[in-house]
């Protein structure tokens, strides 16, 4: 099974629409390819978001009609593992021979839909059974990289975090994972920087700060993905710099946040 085939089965699993045989194939493939688990988590998250959406609208009739029309013309006698159509049995010579042939034929299980038809049915199930939450779906597909990275870190088996209190009463929490290779800073109660200023992130390795990008604050809240690779023992720091970041590549002010990770 290749990754594309697995992705289609994962979509069906998220919709609880797999046959018992496909469910077995799906589980076996996941055991054999644990690196594909991200596909499962993404599909499950999307299905959950759609299911929780309250502001839904009926899908346009044209979409439903087009899907049903495509299903009608898609060959459904395809072999489930190759998608190659099965050869049709030769036409009987006469009624007697037809009856004899039918009685001697081994009983075969019902044909399963090919993967193309399954994908169409999955789309139809989402559109018709759940409805389209246009705003929520757009948000799901356009999530900030920092939010996606935070979810990846939290799902990792080696996820770690550390929290410090801010002078103004807020908190700042660093989240990181060695296996994911990313770090995210989540802050609340963080004052907005002054006019023409921004916050800049740093990995501090011993006495050497390494810039990890700048970030914005929205109403005191911030979720920022640090640029670059975090190394074991790095501290995470934040300074106030001129807009665009430090022109020298080094901090020009004392840090307002320092989070040890070791």
Closest CA to 203 of 228, 221, 176, 171: 228
Helix, strand or coil for residue 242?
strand
Low-confidence winner among 23-37, 101-115, 232-246 (lowest mean pLDDT) = 101-115
> What's the pLDDT score for residue 93?
52
Evaluate if residue 169 carries a pLDDT over 70.
Answer: yes
- What pLDDT band is residue 20 in, cutting at 50, 70 and 90? confident
CATH of 158-259, one of 1.20.120, 2.60.40, 1.10.246, 3.30.559: 2.60.40
Q: Which residues pair with 174 in a beta bridge?
A: 162, 185
* pLDDT tens profile 146-160: 999 999 999 999 999
Q: Which residue has the higher pLDDT, 114 or 212?
A: 212
Nearest to 185 by CA among 195, 194, 176: 176
pLDDT in tens, 42-68: 877 776 665 555 455 555 566 566 666
Give the pLDDT confidence score for residue 51 in this predicted structure: 56
Q: What is the pLDDT, as a whole number, of residue 112?
A: 42
Task: Scan for tokens 């009608």, then name that residue.
Answer: 72
Give, as one character, the DSSP assignment of residue 85: B
Higher pLDDT: 103 or 223? It is: 223
Residue 75 pLDDT: 58
Q: State residue 103's pLDDT score.
A: 54
Residue matched to tokens 């929290």: 163
* Confidence (pLDDT) at 109: 46
pLDDT of residue 45: 72
Tally of helices (H runs) and strands (E runs) in the chain = 8, 8
Query: Residue 125 is inside which H or E element, if any?
Result: none
pLDDT digits (tens, 9 = 90+) for 80-139: 455 555 555 455 555 555 555 555 555 544 444 444 544 555 555 555 444 545 555 455
Highest mean pLDDT among 38-42, 56-60, 238-242: 238-242
Among residues 137, 253, 248, 255, the alpha carbon closest in space to that of 190 is found at 255
Listed by start position, the domains of the chain span 3-141, 158-259
Q: Across the chain, where does the E strand assignment appear? A: 160-165, 171-177, 182-188, 197-205, 208-215, 222-225, 235-242, 257-259
Q: Are 227 and 185 in contact (CB under 8 A)?
A: no
Predicted model pTM: 0.50
């Amino acid at each position: 099974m290749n990754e594309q085939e697995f992705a289609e089965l994962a979509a069906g699993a998220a919709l609880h629409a797999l046959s018992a045989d496909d469910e077995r194939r799906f589980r076996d493939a996941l055991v054999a390819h644990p690196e594909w688990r991200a596909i499962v988590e993404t599909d499950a998250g999307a299905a959950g978001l759609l299911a929780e959406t309250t502001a839904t609208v009926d899908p346009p009739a044209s979409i439903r009609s087009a899907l049903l029309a495509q299903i009608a013309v898609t060959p459904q006698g395809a072999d489930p593992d190759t998608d190659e159509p099965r050869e049709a049995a030769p036409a009987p010579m006469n009624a007697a021979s037809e009856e004899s042939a039918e009685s001697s034929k081994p009983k075969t299980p019902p044909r399963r839909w090919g993967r193309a038809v399954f994908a169409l049915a999955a789309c139809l199930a989402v559109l018709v059974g759940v409805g389209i939450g246009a705003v929520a779906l757009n948000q799901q597909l356009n999530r900030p990289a920092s939010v996606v990275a935070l979810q990846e870190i939290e799902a990792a088996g080696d996820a770690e975090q550390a929290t410090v209190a801010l002078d103004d009463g807020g908190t700042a929490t660093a989240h990181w994972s060695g296996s994911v290779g990313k770090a995210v800073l989540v802050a609340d109660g963080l004052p907005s920087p002054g006019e023409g200023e921004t916050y800049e992130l740093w990995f501090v390795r011993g006495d050497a700060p390494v810039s990890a990008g700048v970030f914005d604050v929205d109403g005191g809240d911030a979720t920022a993905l640090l640029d670059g690779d975090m190394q074991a023992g790095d501290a995470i720091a934040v300074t106030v710099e001129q807009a665009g970041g430090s022109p020298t590549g080094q901090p020009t002010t004392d840090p307002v946040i320092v989070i040890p990770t070791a």
